[in-house]
């Protein structure tokens, strides 16, 4: 596995590559701001290609450059270096009103002095669409977002979810070749958020256009996206499908940012049948399948909490095994979370499903064995 999966070449993914020409292509894009005379790099060389019809997410912590990247695609910012292409044509330096993409703003940015109908018709009016066609398309779009009958309302007379749908309709009615959404569900409560996630996916399938979705919510990105670019500090750390991002994080940052992850460090003892073996204290060991490491290498290995099994006896077979002491047990409904301290001091989190006849119950202070399959250990790039 490569350390830095930035780029067009990330083909080992679930991307529905319909068209050979990417809908959106960033090449070596850098954005610098001058803040109080000091140069700040908000985006540090991002290269990626988004396929036609794809649901693509930019995921990362606050301040990692997601919005800046999206604003360069929309045309609100010009890259300091690098190029932006839409459907094969270089649009670097082209203003926003001349680009065939539309954006849904985090604040919705609905025009407060116009009603719902006028808001949605705004884009079509600018392109001198015939009035009869505007009438038809706006009506259709309001039906899709379930706002028929609210045409005469002003934005402030709508609920947050309704405003969000107006913003979506206002962008989609223009049939852009790509839709950019900057944390569009950020202002909604959890329930509405989940309903809107399903809704957005449905609409995307229905209209079949490319969605670029900015979020800092990992579960949102995992459930909705075809592919995800995980960003950190202005760079793309990993670009892959949701399953791969979750199961095979490429860097320690990705492992830590997506879900809960355990990080173990050790030195390769020997390589056995394509499987690196790291020795842990107290007779424990970690097997890493398919790793290209040699004896003597120091490795960082991640393993997801739900892949680990707890047992009282040392497990047999070709598995990773570690001895530890239970420090904390939290019952969380569908599963129980255990915090287990290894002899070398590392704390490991373990999730055990609360099955009907759950017998593996451990108490704080118990000495237990943890085990997991070799293919659930991942060596990550440093």
Partner 1 sequence: MSVKSAPAPVPPAPVPAAPAPARARSGGRWADRLLRIYAVLLLAWLFAPIVVMIVFGFNDTKSKSNVTWQGFTVKWWGRLGDYPELMTAVFNSVTIALLATAITTVLGTALGLAIGRYRFRGAGATNVVIFAAIASPELALGASLLSLFVSTGVQTGYATVVIAHVLFALSFVAITVRARVLGMDPSLEEAARDLGASPWTTFRLVTLPSIAPGVVSGALLAFVLSIDDFVITQFTSGPLTTFPLWIYGAVRQGVPPQVNILGTLIFGVGVVIAITHSVLARRRVP
Ligand X SMILES: Nc1ncnc2c1ncn2[C@@H]1O[C@H](COP(=O)(O)OP(=O)(O)OP(=O)(O)O)[C@@H](O)[C@H]1O
Contact set with partner 1 (CB under 8 A): 74-76, 95-97, 102-103, 105, 107, 109-113, 122-123, 126-127, 156, 170-171, 174
Q: Is 75 in the site for ligand X (CB under 6 A)?
A: no
> Which helix (H) or strand (E) is 178 found in, with range?
strand 178-182
**Residue 107 binds which entry of ligand X, Mg ion, partner 1, none, CB below 5-8 Å type-dependent:** partner 1
**CB–CB of 380/253 below 8 Å?**
no
Q: What is the DSSP letter of 381?
A: B
Whose Cβ is closer to ligand X: residue 66's or residue 170's? Answer: 66
Residues in the chain: 382
- Residue among 67 and 225 whose Cβ is closer to ligand X: 67
Residue in 6, 51, 64, 200 binding ligand X, rule: CB under 6 A: 64
Contact 30, 44 (CB under 8 A): yes
Minimal distance, residue 251 CB to ligand X, in Å: 17
Shortest reach from residue 46's CB to ligand X, in Å: 11
What is d(CA 254, CA 375) in angstroms, rounded to the nearest whole number?
18
Q: Which is nearer to Mg ion, 236 or 342 (CB)?
A: 236
Q: Is 139 helix (H, G, I), strand (E, B) or coil?
A: helix
- In 30-58, which positions are buried (b, 16+ CB within 10 angstroms) versus exposed (e)? bbeeeeeeeeebbbebbbbbbbbbbbbbb
Residue 74 or 278: the one with the smaller Cβ distance to partner 1 is 74
**125 or 314: whose CB is closer to partner 1?**
125
- Cα-to-chain-centroid distance, residue 119: 30
Nearer to partner 1, 144 or 240 (CB): 144
Smallest separation, CB 217 to ligand X (Å) = 10
Binding partner of residue 330 among Mg ion, partner 1, ligand X, none, CB under 5 to 8 Å per kind? none
| Distance of closest approach, residue 224 Cβ to Mg ion, in angstroms | 17
Using CB atoms within 10 Å of the CB of residue 177, give its burial: 0 to 12 exposed, 13 to 18 middle, 19+ buried. Answer: middle
Give the separation between CA 170 and CA 118, rounded to whole angstroms: 9
Residue 241 binding result from ligand X, partner 1, Mg ion, none, given CB thresholds of 5 to 8 Å by partner type: none
Q: CB of residue 97 vs partner 1: minimum separation in angstroms?
A: 5
Tell me which residue of 284, 305, 288 sits closest to 297, measured CA to CA.
Answer: 288
β-bridge pairing 367-372 and 24-35: unpaired
* Least spacing, CB of residue 220 vs partner 1, in Å: 21
Which residue in the set 66, 99, 304, 376 belongs to the binding site for ligand X (CB under 6 A)? 66
Least Å distance, CB 214 to ligand X, is 7
Q: Which does 102 bind (CB under 5 to 8 A by kind): ligand X, Mg ion, partner 1, none?
A: partner 1
Is position 261 an interface residue for Mg ion (rule: CB under 5 A)? no
What CA–CA distance (Å, rounded) separates 182 from 185? 9
Give least dist CB 300 to Mg ion, A.
30
Residue 35 binds which of ligand X, Mg ion, partner 1, none (CB < 5-8 A, kind-dependent): ligand X
Stretch 29-88 residues interacting with Mg ion (CB under 5 A): 67
Strand duo 262-272 + 101-104: pairing: unpaired
Our CB check for partner 1 shows the closer of 74 and 287 to be: 74
218 is a site residue for ligand X (CB under 6 A): no
Q: What is the DSSP string of 5-65?
A: --STT--SS-----SSS-SEEEEEEEEEEEETTEEEEEEEEEEEEE-TT-EEEEE-STTSS
| Residues found near ligand X in the complex (CB under 6 A) | 33, 35, 40, 42, 60, 62-68, 216
């Amino acid at each position: 596995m490569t350390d830095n999966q930035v780029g067009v070449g990330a083909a080992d993914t679930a991307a529905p590559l319909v068209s050979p020409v990417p809908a959106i292509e960033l090449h070596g894009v850098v954005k610098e701001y001058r803040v109080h005379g000091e140069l700040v790099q908000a985006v540090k060389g991002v290269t990626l290609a988004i396929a036609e019809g794809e649901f693509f997410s930019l995921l990362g912590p606050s301040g990692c450059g997601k919005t800046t990247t999206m604003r360069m695609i929309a045309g609100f910012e010009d890259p300091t270096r690098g190029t932006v292409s839409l459907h094969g044509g270089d649009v670097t330096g082209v203003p926003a009103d001349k680009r065939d993409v539309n954006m849904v703003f985090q604040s919705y940015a609905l025009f407060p002095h116009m009603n719902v109908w006028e808001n949605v018709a705004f884009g079509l009016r600018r392109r001198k669409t015939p009035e009869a066609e505007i009438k038809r398309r706006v009506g259709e779009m309001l039906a899709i977002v379930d706002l028929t009958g609210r045409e005469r309302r002003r934005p402030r007379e709508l609920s947050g979810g309704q405003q969000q749908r107006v913003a979506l309709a206002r962008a989609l009615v223009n049939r852009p070749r790509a839709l950019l959404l900057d944390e569009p569900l950020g202002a909604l409560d959890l329930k509405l958020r989940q309903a809107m996630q399903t809704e957005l996916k449905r609409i995307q399938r229905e209209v079949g256009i490319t969605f670029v979705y900015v979020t800092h919510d990992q579960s949102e990105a995992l459930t909705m996206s075809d592919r995800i670019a995980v960003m950190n500090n202005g760079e793309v750390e990993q670009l892959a499908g949701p399953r791969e991002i979750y199961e095979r994080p490429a860097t320690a940052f990705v492992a830590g940012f997506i879900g809960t992850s355990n990080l173990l460090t050790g030195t390769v003892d020997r390589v056995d049948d394509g499987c690196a073996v790291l020795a842990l204290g107290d007779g424990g060991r970690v097997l890493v399948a398919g790793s290209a490491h040699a004896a003597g290498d120091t490795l960082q290995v991640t393993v997801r909490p739900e892949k680990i099994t707890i047992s009282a006896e040392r497990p047999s077979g070709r598995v990773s095994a570690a001895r530890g002491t239970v420090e904390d047990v939290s019952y969380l409904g569908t599963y129980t979370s255990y915090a287990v301290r290894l002899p070398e001091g590392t704390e490991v989190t373990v999730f055990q499903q609360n099955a009907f006849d759950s017998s593996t119950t451990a108490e704080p202070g118990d000495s237990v064995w943890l085990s997991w399959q070799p293919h659930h250990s991942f060596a990550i790039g440093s």
